[in-house]
Amino acid sequence: MEEYLARIGPADEAAMRAATERQLALTKPAGSLGVLEDLSIRVAGMTASCPPAVPSPAAVTVFAADHGVHAQGVSPWPQEVTAAMLANFAAGGAAVNAFAANNRVDVRVVDVGVASDVAELDIVHAKVRPGTRDLSEEKALSPEEVVAAVAVGFELAEKLLRDGYRCLLTGDMGIANTTASAALIATFTGATAEEVTGRGTGIDDATLAHKTEVVAAALRLHDVPASDPQGALSAYGGLEHAALAGYILGAAANHVPVILDGVIAGAAALVAQAFHPAAIDYCVAGHRSAEPGHAIALKTLGLQPLVDLDLRLGEGTGAVLAYPILTCAVRALAEMATFESAGIASGDGA
């Protein structure tokens, strides 16, 4: 971990100042591109360049894993759905495939801890263990397993960047992963189990009450302080959360933007923030999930979501939807004429 963290530093202030000034010179009223102006300034800071290059090509990586807490009945979906959806991703039949094809984003799928054997699928095989242990009864992961899963994400980020990608998007798949997310978000935000536990991809009131009690009991059992990201990953998992945290740290260490998907990514980003606060300088919140813990996570992360359309699917769909907004923001900064170059009088002078 230490060698990863040593490579992370804050966004470049000089590039952000230059981008802020450039925004004022472009042929539009000051501030009229709203959130996109701030976004373009942030990308300048991430990449230490003004104007920054368009962050393209992009890859969305779907980190997949299973959760021992599934045994507690926190989801209506059989655990085997994780593996079945991996086959669906590999065949191009999932929502993230349709969105990614539309938005020119490449899809990578990684088995970092699926319970079933998916060796025959044409995906990245990096299984640390076949699912976590049940977080409601014991630590989900050993310290060594945490480090191994974080390394899967970090190393994959580095490989994608070596392959030429200039924007990384997070994706995830894992039945019951909103339960582990809730525990992580509660740990790092101080929110209660009631505040952060939601219906995931769809559960009834009775299951929600039970799921909330499972999260509350796990928080009491493990009682991990917010200053201990490795301890939190060990207590609650999941393997995909650990890999996502590593992936975010990998993007930050290499000064490229990483677009976060929904609540799973938000939980992982809180872990990354606990590892190194400056990692969040490289994060863009793709969307706000309908899952209640996500808004709480985003508030602690200090990130404003780009898309807010009641999505609660995961897979990276929210991040992929947001990707063209990011590239539009950067292209406006890079490609627009200035008042001077276009020979237009500025509103200030009228």
117's torsion region: left (phi>0), alpha (psi -120 to 50) or beta? beta
Catalytic: 120? Answer: no
Give the nearest distance from C-beta 103 to a second copy in angstroms: 6
Among 95, 124, 216, 217, binds a second copy (CB under 8 A): 95
Q: Which of 120, 138, 315, 335 is catalytic?
A: 315
Our CA angle for 92, 114, 188, nearest 5°, is 105
Ranges within 11-50 binding a second copy (CB under 8 A): 26-36
- If one asks whether residue 76 binds a second copy (CB under 8 A), the answer comes out as yes
Question: What is the SS3 assignment for 47?
Answer: helix
Cβ-count burial 283-305 (b if 16+ within 10 Å, e if not) = bbbbbbbbbbbbbbbbebbebeb
Torsion angle, alpha carbons of 221, 222, 226, 228, to 10? 170
Binding mask 246-285 for a second copy (x = CB under 8 A): ----------------------------------------
- If one asks whether residue 232 binds a second copy (CB under 8 A), the answer comes out as no
Instruction: Tell me how far apart the alpha carbons of residues 128 and 138 are, in angstroms, rounded to a whole number.
Output: 18
- If one asks whether residue 182 binds a second copy (CB under 8 A), the answer comes out as no
- If one asks whether residue 97 binds a second copy (CB under 8 A), the answer comes out as yes
- If one asks whether residue 239 binds a second copy (CB under 8 A), the answer comes out as no
- If one asks whether residue 290 binds a second copy (CB under 8 A), the answer comes out as yes
Q: Measured on CA atoms in the order 231, 234, 235, 237, is the torsion positive or negative?
A: positive
- If one asks whether residue 164 binds a second copy (CB under 8 A), the answer comes out as no
Instruction: Tell me how far apart the alpha carbons of residues 279 and 347 are, in angstroms, rounded to a whole number.
Output: 38
Beta-carbon contacts of residue 175 (< 8 Å; ≥ 6 apart): 66, 67, 70, 75, 77, 78, 79, 81, 82
Give the nearest distance from C-beta 32 to a second copy in angstroms: 4
Q: What's CA 127's distance to the chain center, in Å?
A: 20
Give the nearest distance from C-beta 230 to a second copy in angstroms: 32
Active site members:
315
Q: Binding residues for a second copy, per CB under 8 A?
A: 26-36, 54, 75-78, 80-81, 84-85, 87-88, 91-95, 97-99, 101-103, 201-202, 290, 306-313, 317, 320-321, 324-325, 327-328, 331-332, 334-337, 341-345, 347-348, 350
